[in-house]
Amino acid sequence: MNLGIVIFAFNEERSIGGVLDRIPRSIEGVDRIQVIVVDDGSTDRTRAVALERGAQVISHPGNKGLGAAFATAIDGALRAGADIIVGLDGDGQHPPEAIPQLIAPLLGGQADFATATRFADPALVPKMPLLNRLGNWLMARITGLACGRSFTDAACGFRAYSRDAAIRLNVFGGHTYTQESLLDLARKGVTMTEVPVAIRGVREHGKSRVAHNLVRYGTRALAILLRAIRDRLPLAFFGGIGIVLAVVGAGAELAVLANFALTGKTSPYHSFTILGAIFLILGAFSFLIALLADMLGRMRETQETMLYLEKRRYYDDLAQQYTDPDGQQQVTVPPHLAVGNQEVSPAVPLRVE
């Protein structure tokens, strides 16, 4: 059983060393532990400190965002042949000592995905600003509603993925990935669980690059989540819009009819007749779009199944190709991310027979 631990870092030279030092050197049920740091365009010594601690480092040429760093990390761990992938931040908020606790459901076969939760156990709730707590609660409720599941924490990035779940996962948000990945995995029927973990509520050094501005973070995270709902639940998304428009239109028409029944006149609500008709027409168009989008959604599911099978062959081939004589998997990176003497592998996950 190979465990890949991926750490997301952007200008974390003051904390990345401590995070790496705290990673367990051995875990029951795990044969090999490999640590990969994704340096998201840091301008300080983050990369150098990680290399000094013996981690393998994949560097972005510039800051691309947490979502892009997550995609690079998953890709790197799969290339290295990881059977379980654990993701955590390099700022020290996520406790590396809790990795055995987090991966226990995966090792035991109870789940293919486990996410740490800060709020399930009242004794483990961290100290954080009230506005942050309310924002987390609201995002968890929205995400849970979209997924058809209940989550107590949808924003924590301390998570564990089985190899199969990681290959199935497709996310597109560059700013963050936490809510979108939950929705994607839930829609694909991946078994999921939450694990209560004691996590720091605030960073020890500096400010969060994702949530330092709560309004901006909430707006961008909500936009990513809405796009994910649109793509994965098109019938509900466009059908819901159609229902709202139709209800408004019908309400306007009923108001005119009620007034006419009582007074024999349409005034002073005559304009409601036109307004109601417009909303009813828009509602009908939305229902039509919902049906077409649902058809495209079914085609998307077929394409994602084909993509999953191709990705699985691609990553399994790479893991075998880049295994050294001692049985150690070497992390390979696409050419556009190669730095120094890093081993380069094909950038596009395609296999030609």
Return the pLDDT at 223: 82
The closest of 186, 142, 195, 155 to 168, measured between CA atoms, is: 186
Return the pLDDT at 232: 84
Return the pLDDT at 208: 57
* The pLDDT of residue 126 is above 60: yes
Q: How confident is the model at residue 349 (pLDDT cuts 50, 70, 90)?
A: very low
Radius of gyration of the chain (CA): 24
- Whole-number percent of the chain with pLDDT over 90: 59
* The pLDDT of residue 135 is above 80: yes
* The pLDDT of residue 352 is above 60: no
Query: What value does the mean pLDDT take over residues 176-203?
Result: 89
Helices and strands of the chain, counted as H and E runs: 10, 7
Partner residues linked to 114 by β-bridges? 160, 193
Give the separation between CA 114 and CA 103, rounded to whole angstroms: 7
Strongest mean pLDDT among 99-103, 232-236, 341-345: 99-103
Least confident of 54-63, 193-202, 218-227, 325-334: 325-334
Mean of all residue pLDDT scores within the chain: 86
CA atoms within 13 A on the CB side of 15: 21
pTM greater than 0.85 (yes/no)? no
* The pLDDT of residue 182 is above 60: yes
Return the pLDDT at 353: 28
For residue 206, the surrounding DSSP H or E stretch is none
Return the pLDDT at 210: 55
Q: What are phi and psi of 235, to 5 degrees?
A: -65, -45
* The pLDDT of residue 288 is above 60: yes
Q: Are strands 113-117 and 32-39 parallel, antiparallel or unpaired?
A: unpaired
Return the pLDDT at 346: 40
CA atoms within 13 A on the CB side of 47: 15
CA triple 97-63-103, angle to 5 deg: 25
For residue 1, the surrounding DSSP H or E stretch is none
Q: What is the pLDDT of residues 100-117, one digit of tens each?
A: 999 999 999 999 999 999
Q: What is the pLDDT of residues 254-269, one digit of tens each?
A: 999 998 888 888 888 8
* The pLDDT of residue 345 is above 50: no
